[in-house]
């Protein structure tokens, strides 16, 4: 067995272990976010507070568009297109920051505060936990961008990019469930 074959097999074994670990992490995260969704439906029932619908739709669109750019970045590095990879990562990070500004800067400055009973607790609990994950995703993206700028990834070896993309898409998927639960489902209570 040649040294190259041995190194490739070791890399592939490590990749399988990394993927398994990442998916086990996501399963644990599903319990966290599932618990928040369960709390929303238990505490709010078939009602919801009067939230800014335009803001909710806008930040959702921004986050979904960011997933497109993250996918574009991952595809680009798989094809050794470093320029598109780096540009797409930066666009994804910028869109993530816009999402955070929308939630923390605008939604949290609205009329509902954390101390406003079940509505405040659920709204801030769900959006706060999600915002924390978006923030960590942005940091992850910037680390991957910096490593990519230094040439650490190639078409054959880009696990860090793949892991970052999967994490970002997972965070976006969580919002796909949170958005209707917060903004669309239930009768508005003033």
Of residues 103, 102, 96, the one with CA closest to residue 140: 96
Q: Indicate if the pLDDT at residue 184 is higher than 80.
A: yes
The pLDDT value recorded for residue 139 is: 98
Q: pLDDT tens across 25-39, in order?
A: 999 999 999 999 999
Mean pLDDT of the chain: 94
The pLDDT value recorded for residue 9 is: 78
Q: Indicate if the pLDDT at residue 188 is higher than 60.
A: yes
Does the 25-189 domain belong in CATH 1.20.120.80? yes
Model confidence, pTM: 0.91
Q: Indicate if the pLDDT at residue 20 is higher than 90.
A: no
Q: Where are the domains of the chain?
A: 25-189
Cα–Cα distance measured from residue 37 to residue 28, given in angstroms and rounded to the nearest whole number:
15
pLDDT band at 181 (very low <50, low <70, confident <90, very high): very high
Q: pLDDT tens across 133-159, in order?
A: 999 999 999 999 999 999 999 988 899
Q: What would the mean pLDDT of 157-167 be, rounded to a whole number?
A: 94
CB distance 127 to 182 below 8 Å: yes
The helix or strand, by DSSP H or E, that contains position 47, with its residue range, turns out to be: strand 47-49
Cα–Cα distance measured from residue 103 to residue 35, given in angstroms and rounded to the nearest whole number:
20
Sequence-distant (6+) residues with CB within 8 A of 179 are 56, 60
pLDDT band at 1 (very low <50, low <70, confident <90, very high): low
Percent of the chain topping pLDDT 70: 96
Q: Between these two residues, 94 and 154, which has the higher pLDDT value?
A: 94
Q: Between these two residues, 24 and 3, which has the higher pLDDT value?
A: 24
């Amino acid at each position: 067995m040649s040294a190259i074959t041995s190194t490739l097999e070791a890399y592939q074994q490590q990749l399988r272990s990394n993927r398994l670990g990442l998916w086990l992490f996501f399963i644990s995260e599903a319990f966290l976010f599932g618990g928040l969704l369960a709390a929303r439906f238990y505490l709010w029932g078939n009602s919801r507070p009067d939230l800014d619908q335009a803001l909710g739709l806008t930040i959702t669109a921004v986050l979904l568009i960011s997933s497109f750019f993250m996918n574009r970045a991952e595809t680009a590095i798989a094809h050794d297109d470093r320029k598109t990879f780096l540009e797409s990562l930066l666009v994804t990070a910028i869109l993530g920051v816009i999402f955070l500004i929308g939630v923390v800067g605008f939604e949290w400055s609205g009329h509902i505060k954390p101390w406003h009973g079940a509505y405040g607790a659920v709204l801030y609990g769900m959006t706060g936990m999600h915002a924390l994950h978006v923030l960590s995703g942005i940091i992850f993206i910037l680390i991957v961008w910096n490593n990519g700028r230094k040439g650490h990834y190639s078409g054959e070896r880009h696990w860090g990019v793949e892991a970052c993309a999967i994490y970002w898409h997972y965070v976006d998927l969580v919002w796909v469930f949170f958005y209707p639960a917060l903004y669309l489902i239930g009768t508005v209570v003033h």
